[in-house]
Structure 1
């Protein structure tokens, strides 16, 4: 999955100036209309970054690197609601009939963002601000490591993060107060998630310079600052960690263990909170960018699972395996010949070899390649146990590379079967191409350069897995079985996510369904299912988006015949960045008409 370096919560902001969002008025002049839209989009991005400084840091807007808003507070949420309301009013003044195709994309995306983010504020996810997969404590911790978006090159850089650590103490107190309100009103996490959070915060509360990631920047203070500055920085930075970070995590650990866990809920799905079913419907709309109902998605998932199981039977038979598919799953899970690695370095080298193998073919499939550097790294130890393989975007100016992170808990247990499709999805030509090309495209408004729409982004990355045979991969039947395993994994998500969140499925029921239909261990299935519990509906976006992109490729391959160019199709698919699926259909139709 893509790990955009941002919290899950809404990107919300408050206006900087009185009257900043007055309607620009209707314009019959197309140039004036476009100028008004561009001005609105630019203003929106600037204000959004000012009030969302963590997101600004991820985007390379370093003027806010010392700030950390208490975004889960009622006052912040009220400002956000006012902010979106003003922009909802402002965009009504744009005459859409005078817009070009690309400007209409901007208009549609802005309007959707204002509407859906404001609607999101009517729900109460701020009463459950902490979970094991993605939340502000984990985001801040990743920034703290010194190898992420937060810079640690100057004395000011260090003092910026010290101020963020100070603000985190306030955020933690607010989070605990919010969770107490949630306990009183039924907005609480499932017990099975709380028990995963407690060890995370326990480790981060330890005064352990060798292993606690918050101390890591102390090992990289530049010598160019001089001994006196380095000594003072070391003293002040250590004091900030021990005054704000360690006590905050200790306080959070004690609260979660002693107060929150006993009152956490036994239900697995979001329907277990007061407005959970309505909230889930909203999340489905948000993540899939469609009007599909949960029921329709569940049915689609079951059909896809059945189809892919049929392909798996064919591959199983090609290996000469004697036995049924569940037995083959068990064999793939346990067969030592599929565990060929001894060290993490050997795994990373193998991923690098995949990159080298596919690049000649990739250069034929894509006319435009990103300039952003790319690296493969092992996931940091502090989060590896609960992390999936993921892509962390680079900076738009190329100074920070895009990184494909691989969690490796035990290299000797790492199966090679899924490596090729994983690389295609997370790295090249998947997330690294899509996100880098989007960020590098300075003809897009900045809010589009740095936006993320899961159905498009994850759908495209899953589509990239299907390119393996065209790129010379999947020649080993076990590697192709790994590809089918990844595909059925995304189809299974449609079933288990909707099952848990609307049909009353238990965590255990979802784990069993997953293990019955793909070859993964109970530990792996548990981590996946608990991820879907933590971020409802996010997992739906992959398969929904992939099916749409594959549908469009098939449609235009047939319709255009000899005029169809795969590299042109891919370039058009990526050039406008993340867009809702309905917008994608419209823009690809315009492209196809131009090819004729």
Structure 2
């Protein structure tokens, strides 16, 4: 009897030890995920503010400096080593996805540090100077509710004045090494700084938060903050804006290149291949992507031809596209308020049908707003995510520089992509999922995120839209726009295409206005590879949907498919496919 008890006790202790080890491994991995997120946020304080990590609200990223790049390299090495010690077999399925995401990010991050892209720290499409401008408006991600909030941004403004000096230092290094922006982009950056130069601090964008100061602040605090903001604007920011604008207009513009693609720069082709990998999360080569784009353009042309015939347009497709750009019936508005009301009406039309396609919807509130004046001329419609704690809604920004020439052709499609069920659903559901580690709740992969948003454009008819053939043509034209991106982005950066050649190709194949197409082409020139993510991701999600329909047959439920795609947040496409394959097999 004693012998039996001894054996049983020994077995129990062994099992207990194994379980304890598993629990220990799990705790270690949970701690690793937390540490990874904390370190990542500290390296990217502006992103941290967007994600509601308010402990970083006074900090600023000096992303172009050698010191920051050394910190990035140290970060990647730290977590490459840490992830190598994890017992992968002991992780849950969702933890394995987390582990694989960290591996992927660390690997691509190390690869991207090989290239001197920090020598071009400003462009007209994205960057710290534009993000700071949005924050300064007082209604974006930077909170302005407490005195501490105001002092945080005051500190950030002070650092931003120093950031401008750092940017110019590295731009000058870029000039010496021939690593500079194309002239067309430099010309677009100049007014972005010039428009921030004001004689009176009260007229400056960076004074906006003072004008919306909470009424319950004590009078002496209000006066002090107003005086400090005015002093920082007058003595630090405006002189720096003048300095940057003058440098851009003289030395930098003279040194700016006449070529359009990054392949003309040192290590340009290798840089682009890495950026393409980063944005698509695939191993597709630029040449493969270019050929895929040409195939997609041809297929969509055939669909667009059907609409031309349906509406009875007698001219060629090229004539039809020109008519869509200039048709006054598609420009019915005279004020920006009418444009915003139009998007409200689209929102109201889809609301009754959302439940037919989605069993999982976000709690985060949603708003439609006009893009701020300082960036409206060069901005595209966009979605800015809400705060995970619900304190800030998700915002769909619509630029309306001229309401009288605003074309409604793609508005239904645009709303689905940027708002609901596109980015607002995907980002909010991800942020609200408390089962995910924070680094995944607040993460982004272009191929998944933009791929999802483009995929949702195809859901319009099921949501009660595209009853007008012109709006359906708008959807096809928007999809064509993303197919064209595969062609022109790779064309510009690997095949020697000029800016003008890319503009002409776009004009010949889609209904966007020439002004819009020029902005788009210059966007691709500024951020190589980013535009590839949309179509690559969409095609993968469509492929997985068809695969699920075929394998599951009558058991296929579109609501369940969408739930499986959205529930775990963004990830490289290979991991998404593995996740959905496992679901289909179950």
What do residues 481-505 of structure 1 show as CA deviations (whole Å, max 9, x unaligned)? Answer: 0000000000000000000000000
**How much does 1:33 deviate?**
2.8
Please, what TM-score do these two structures have when normalized by structure 1?
A: 0.94
What do residues 435-465 of structure 1 show as CA deviations (whole Å, max 9, x unaligned)? Answer: 0000001110000000000000000000000
Alpha-carbon distance in 2 for matches of 1:27, 1:447: 27
Report what 2:186 is aligned to: 194
Secondary structure in structure 2 of the residue aligned to 1:204: coil
What do residues 505-527 of structure 1 show as CA deviations (whole Å, max 9, x unaligned)? Answer: 00000000000001122211100
Alpha-carbon distance in 2 for matches of 1:273, 1:206: 36
Alpha-carbon distance in 2 for matches of 1:122, 1:591: 38
**How much does 1:28 deviate?**
10
Q: CA RMSD in A?
A: 1.4
Report what 1:225 is aligned to: 217
Q: Counterparts of 1:513-524 in structure 2 under 5 Å?
A: 513-524=505-516
What do residues 405-444 of structure 1 show as CA deviations (whole Å, max 9, x unaligned)? Answer: 1110111111121111100100000000000000001110
What do residues 276-324 of structure 1 show as CA deviations (whole Å, max 9, x unaligned)? Answer: 1000000000000000000000000000000000000000100011111
**How much does 1:205 deviate?**
2.3
Is the 8 Å Cα contact of residues 358 and 472 (structure 1) preserved in structure 2? Answer: yes
Report what 1:102 is aligned to: 94
**How much does 1:35 deviate?**
2.2
Report what 1:537 is aligned to: 529
Alpha-carbon distance in 2 for matches of 1:338, 1:34: 57
**How much does 1:27 deviate?**
11
Comparing 173-182 with 536-545, greater Cα deviation is found at: 173-182
Is the 8 Å Cα contact of residues 124 and 189 (structure 2) preserved in structure 1? Answer: yes
Q: State yes or no: 1:113 paired with 2:105.
A: yes
Secondary structure in structure 1 of the residue aligned to 2:145: coil
Is the 8 Å Cα contact of residues 382 and 418 (structure 2) preserved in structure 1? Answer: yes
Is the 8 Å Cα contact of residues 27 and 33 (structure 1) preserved in structure 2? Answer: no
Alpha-carbon distance in 2 for matches of 1:138, 1:468: 32
Report what 2:24 is aligned to: 32
Alpha-carbon distance in 2 for matches of 1:154, 1:495: 49
Give the one of 300, 324, 332 matched to 1:332: 324
Alpha-carbon distance in 1 for matches of 2:185, 2:152: 32
Give the one of 359, 373, 396 matched to 1:381: 373
Secondary structure in structure 2 of the residue aligned to 1:376: strand
Report what 1:125 is aligned to: 117
- Name stretches of at least 5 consecutive residues in structure 1 with no aligned partner: 1-25
Alpha-carbon distance in 1 for matches of 2:169, 2:260: 23
Report what 1:500 is aligned to: 492
Q: Counterparts of 1:83-94 in structure 2 under 5 Å?
A: 83-94=75-86
Please, what TM-score do these two structures have when normalized by structure 2?
A: 0.95
Larger radius of gyration: 2
Alpha-carbon distance in 2 for matches of 1:239, 1:52: 27
**How much does 1:224 deviate?**
0.9
Report what 1:256 is aligned to: 248
Q: Counterparts of 1:331-480 in structure 2 under 5 Å?
A: 331-480=323-472
Alpha-carbon distance in 1 for matches of 2:514, 2:63: 36
**How much does 1:380 deviate?**
0.8
**How much does 1:569 deviate?**
0.4
Secondary structure in structure 2 of the residue aligned to 1:375: strand
Give the one of 561, 565, 579 matched to 1:569: 561
Q: State yes or no: 1:151 paired with 2:125.
A: no
Report what 1:272 is aligned to: 264
Is the 8 Å Cα contact of residues 205 and 248 (structure 1) preserved in structure 2? Answer: no
Is the 8 Å Cα contact of residues 201 and 233 (structure 2) preserved in structure 1? Answer: no
**How much does 1:71 deviate?**
2.6
Report what 2:3 is aligned to: none
Alpha-carbon distance in 2 for matches of 1:458, 1:28: 42
Secondary structure in structure 2 of the residue aligned to 1:94: coil
Is the 8 Å Cα contact of residues 313 and 320 (structure 2) preserved in structure 1? Answer: yes
Alpha-carbon distance in 2 for matches of 1:488, 1:377: 27
**How much does 1:208 deviate?**
4.5
**How much does 1:217 deviate?**
1.0
Report what 1:286 is aligned to: 278
How many residue pairs match? The answer is: 569
Is the 8 Å Cα contact of residues 28 and 98 (structure 1) preserved in structure 2? Answer: no
Is the 8 Å Cα contact of residues 39 and 75 (structure 2) preserved in structure 1? Answer: no
Is the 8 Å Cα contact of residues 53 and 68 (structure 1) preserved in structure 2? Answer: yes
**How much does 1:206 deviate?**
2.3
Comparing 423-432 with 224-233, greater Cα deviation is found at: 224-233
Q: State yes or no: 1:317 paired with 2:309.
A: yes
Alpha-carbon distance in 1 for matches of 2:351, 2:552: 27
Alpha-carbon distance in 2 for matches of 1:113, 1:520: 35
Is the 8 Å Cα contact of residues 27 and 95 (structure 1) preserved in structure 2? Answer: no
Is the 8 Å Cα contact of residues 362 and 432 (structure 2) preserved in structure 1? Answer: yes
Report what 1:553 is aligned to: 545
Secondary structure in structure 1 of the residue aligned to 2:434: coil
- Name stretches of at least 5 consecutive residues in structure 2 with no aligned partner: 1-17
Q: State yes or no: 1:299 paired with 2:284.
A: no
Is the 8 Å Cα contact of residues 29 and 98 (structure 1) preserved in structure 2? Answer: no
Q: Counterparts of 1:167-206 in structure 2 under 5 Å?
A: 167-206=159-198
Comparing 166-175 with 448-457, greater Cα deviation is found at: 166-175
Alpha-carbon distance in 2 for matches of 1:433, 1:564: 21
Is the 8 Å Cα contact of residues 188 and 265 (structure 1) preserved in structure 2? Answer: yes
